Structure 1
Amino acid sequence: MLVNNTWNGPFKLTSGGFRSCILGPQFPVGVVRSTINTLDLSNTGIHDSIPVEFWTATRHARALDLSGNQIVGRLPANFRFGGLEPVMLDISSNQLVGPIPELSKNLIYLDLSRNNLSGSLPSNIGAPKLEILVLFKNSFSGTIPCSMFELRHLWFLDISENLLNGSFLNCPRVPKTSSITVLNLNSNNLSRGFPSSFQMCKGLQFLDIANNKFSGSLPTWIESKLPYLQFLRLRSNMFSGRIPVELTMLKHLQYLDIASNNLSGNIPPSLGNLFGMVQTPNQQDLLFYTLHAGLSAIDKYSYAYNDSLSVVTKGQQLEFTTGIAYMVNMDFSCNSLTGEIPHEIGMLIALKSLNLSWNDLSSTIPLAIGELRAVESLDLSHNELSGEIPTSLAGLTSLAHLNLSYNNLTGTIPSGNQLQALDDQASIYIGNPGLCGPLVSRSCSGMEITQWIPEDQHEGMSDALSLYLGICTGFVAGLWIIFCGFLFKRNWRIIWFSFFDCMCDWVYVRAAVSWASFTRME
């Protein structure tokens, strides 16, 4: 809807919802001359700076949403909102520059993401009631101040995709039990070891520190100090050493990405303890559903979080928003892991994506991998796997991407409806000189290509075979009983042949009489 941006109504506007109405490019004058309580100007085509009068008109506001425009310029030196009501402010996805201003004491929600803000994060946040702080995709630099972790009500913090560096400070005033539930620090320049300050975040459920410069070993305290983790993303850092067994004891974990590090050693066989990957995610229990619901900030009880998340699956990097709630993912790729793939991996029946590529894994592909009936993407490429390909792979009916290339696999390539439906089938098996079959243009020397037969068909064939075998056995047994009786019992033979002669005589007489009657009628 197109609205005249010079509109100046006869009444004072206290509450307005103009989402996706065309008010721009100038900032609407009528809004500036009103005393605002709640206002939604998101996606209204404003290509202008925010006038000083606007902040005067909104000094008693409870909710302001200016997101999705091209607002330029700087923010005021401070956000001052009067009254005792909690305040929500969303100015994300604009072109604002400069530092973060001093925040109002009654601010509970602040989203300044997707702007060009810069400078250091304030050493004193000044908003003790703040619950949600979203600052991703800006150009903030320097270290992360202790004040971020001293906020007792802060449960959601996203400062990803900035230029933050250094290590986490030792903050003496951090509460022993922080309220932080969601922490996203990915794509910065943070370094040193896995932050020990995370031990204070007992309720942490979502942790993303991917694409940084963290190093050292993964902590063994992760299971005892962060027992509620559902989402853990550590990819593209410099972590080394073994995968701690404690990592596989996180019962709620449904997304684990430790790809592109320097990890070594075996994959722990205790993977079966990851119960979050055994059961299908329940929408009602998922934190992610709340985070990505995309709700309006105008409703003070709705927390908006519209960021997308990059996930490597099906051989490519995909962007997820609401779909991340249902992603059950395990990615150990691009490390130096050795040993065999534990057969316990077959217990993770809710897995949708499994990537173990670019390691030094050896031995055979476990038969239990055919139990992953929900898996959509399976990548075991660039390892040292040997032996035959399990025929049960053809029974993975959800499989959309498979990569077994560059291993030492041998034998015939299994066939089946699901495997034949995959795209670019030749590339799936390339780099395995021991494989044979039509897909690699290599003869199997007269051996038939293994055809996978589902278990229910196996059971049906077994039942039919039992039936036919029973019929044949009964027929042969009955025939032998009669034959042996005639052979050893003279009276049986006399009775049988007498009966047979009588029957023959009766049939002959009936036939002769019928024929005679027929000829007389003619």
Structure 2
Amino acid sequence: MHQLGIVGVAVWHFGCVLFFLYQLETVLGDVGRPLEASNNICRQLMTMEEKDFEFPKRVVVDPSLKFPNPRLRNAYIALQAWKSAISSDPSNVTGNWVGANVCSYNGVFCAPALDNSSIQVVAGIDLNHADIAGYLPQELGLLTDLALFHVNTNRFCGIVPHSFRKLRLLFELDMSNNRFVGPFPNVFISLPSLKYLDIRFNDFEGQLPSQLFDKNLDAIFVNNNRFQFDIPSNLGSSPVSVVVLANNQLKGCLPSSIGNMAATLNEIIVLNNNLSACLPSEIGLLTSVTVFDVSFNKFVGTLPISIGGMVSLEQLNVAHNMLSGLIPQIICALPNLINFTYSYNFFTGEAPSCLALPSRGVVFNDRSNCIPGRPAQRSFRQCASFLSRPVDCSSFRCNAFPSPTQRSPALPSHHLLFIIILILHPCIIHILPFIIILIFHHLQKMIPIQ
């Protein structure tokens, strides 16, 4: 009990520190924003002190209320707790959240339970564009039949409650355009039915867990947050049709495993990050992709000729990078191309078919490159300075995505013989540290850095 008391005090102080920082940001950054939002964060963090995130008993159910089944009673508790966590509801959307008939509440949708079609349960919540301010209470975990949770374009803040792990049937989750904070909510990884994840336009930060790309999702929207991470090498394991990672602070390589997404991927957008290295040739395997946008990054090298195999491509944007070389004719000949933008790079030439794109109704932009005879290009000095430094794509150590059967290379036979001789030597005790250093040195050279 004494240890639990210490933990409780520590969490309380941690919550109050966050509360102070949030209030300071509120006062300095947006004087007009209500202070209730920051108070809600402190109130929400206080609930985290409860052991194992048990549901706090903040809602007293009137004994005179009658519910058709226990699940609707739980839904009543969850929705009343949420209503009490709302500090502003300018359109009075939750004004009719009164009484036992939760299925009549605005934004609440009921349907027959999947495991018992004879009873009604709360299966969906849609409060999109309601401009509601508040936070998400732990009690929302009582909505165990929820399949759809849409709260985009509101002013919800704070963190995603850990109790969301109980929403085992959740299929669509849209929390975009709010004021949620903290690291990526790992509770999303534990949702077995989740297919659609949209948390864009919030203030989430830190890294995305690599497990996100192992989930059987159809869409991932995490753009316009404050994430800082290298795109995991298992990106290609994801079966999504759409992935948008734009407007964060991503760095490193675009993994070559992206080629493994050919069967499902339709759109990938990673614009306005800090990605570097060369574009992997494996992107040419993405024959179903219609939108490929890597603009406003720091990619170098040439434009892979393999892009000519992206026969479904409609929107291709590689602008505002540090790419160079020639624009291949096969890319400009793509049959479904609608927009091809490669401005603000260091390309030195383009095929005649590229200049003919406007005659096909294709929008293209080649300004601010190093292409002789074209208008609005970079100065000779800029081009000469940049192009004098050759690009070595291998120097970025962007490793190929390992296949399940790929093994680390074995030590060469002469290395093994040398090690056996050393082991048999009578002075082994004295030279053991050097053996370990030697083996580690060889393994470092032979095993690719992940």
Does TM, scored on the shorter chain, surpass 0.5?
Answer: yes
Give CA-to-partner distance per residue, 1:425-466, whole Å, 9 cap, x none: 6x6100002x13567799xxxxxxxxxxxxxxxxxxxxxxxx
1:274 aligns with 2:266: no
Q: CA deviation at 1:99?
A: 3.3
Residue 273 of structure 1 aligns to a residue in which SS?
A: helix
Q: Structure 1 129/162 Cα, relative in aligned 2: closer, same or farther at 3 Å?
A: same
Gaps of at least 5 residues in structure 2 are: 1-64, 73-89, 109-118, 379-450
Residue 388 of structure 1 aligns to a residue in which SS?
A: strand
Amino acid at match of 2:372: C
Could you say which residue in structure 2 is the equivalent of 1:212? 202
> How is 1:482-501 mapped onto 2 (pairs within 5 angstroms)?
none
Give CA-to-partner distance per residue, 1:254-283, whole Å, 9 cap, x none: 1000000000001100001224435xxxxx
Structure having greater relative contact order (Cα 8 Å, sep ≥ 6) = 2
Amino acid at match of 2:185: P
Q: CA deviation at 1:399?
A: 0.7
Q: CA deviation at 1:397?
A: 1.2
Gaps of at least 5 residues in structure 1 are: 1-79, 88-94, 114-126, 279-327, 443-522
> How is 1:85-234 mapped onto 2 (pairs within 5 angstroms)?
96-97=91-92, 99-102=94-97, 112=107, 129-171=121-163, 174-175=165-166, 178-224=168-214, 227-234=215-222
8 A contact 1:109–1:131 mirrored in 2:
no
Q: Structure 1 157/413 Cα, relative in aligned 2: closer, same or farther at 3 Å?
A: same
8 A contact 1:395–1:418 mirrored in 2:
no
C-alpha root-mean-square deviation of aligned residues, in Å? 3.3
Normalising by structure 1, we get a TM-score of 0.50
8 A contact 1:184–1:208 mirrored in 2:
yes
Q: CA deviation at 1:137?
A: 0.5
Identity %: 25
Q: CA deviation at 1:393?
A: 1.4
In 2, Cα distance between equivalents of 1:217 and 1:275: 25
1:370 aligns with 2:308: yes
Could you say which residue in structure 2 is the equivalent of 1:387? 325
Q: CA deviation at 1:345?
A: 0.6
8 A contact 2:222–2:245 mirrored in 1:
yes
8 A contact 1:109–1:132 mirrored in 2:
no
Q: Structure 1 412/248 Cα, relative in aligned 2: closer, same or farther at 3 Å?
A: closer
Q: Structure 1 421/82 Cα, relative in aligned 2: closer, same or farther at 3 Å?
A: farther
Give CA-to-partner distance per residue, 1:224-262, whole Å, 9 cap, x none: 4xx2211100110000020112333112x0100000000
1:429 aligns with 2:416: no
Q: CA deviation at 1:107?
A: 5.1
Q: Structure 1 166/186 Cα, relative in aligned 2: closer, same or farther at 3 Å?
A: same
Q: CA deviation at 1:414?
A: 3.1
8 A contact 1:106–1:129 mirrored in 2:
no
Q: Structure 1 144/243 Cα, relative in aligned 2: closer, same or farther at 3 Å?
A: same
Over alpha carbons, which structure has the higher Rg?
A: 1
Q: CA deviation at 1:422?
A: 5.6
Q: Structure 1 149/418 Cα, relative in aligned 2: closer, same or farther at 3 Å?
A: farther
1:240 aligns with 2:209: no
Q: Structure 1 104/377 Cα, relative in aligned 2: closer, same or farther at 3 Å?
A: farther
Normalising by structure 2, we get a TM-score of 0.58
> How is 1:386-425 mapped onto 2 (pairs within 5 angstroms)?
386-415=324-353, 419-421=357-359
Amino acid at match of 2:125: L
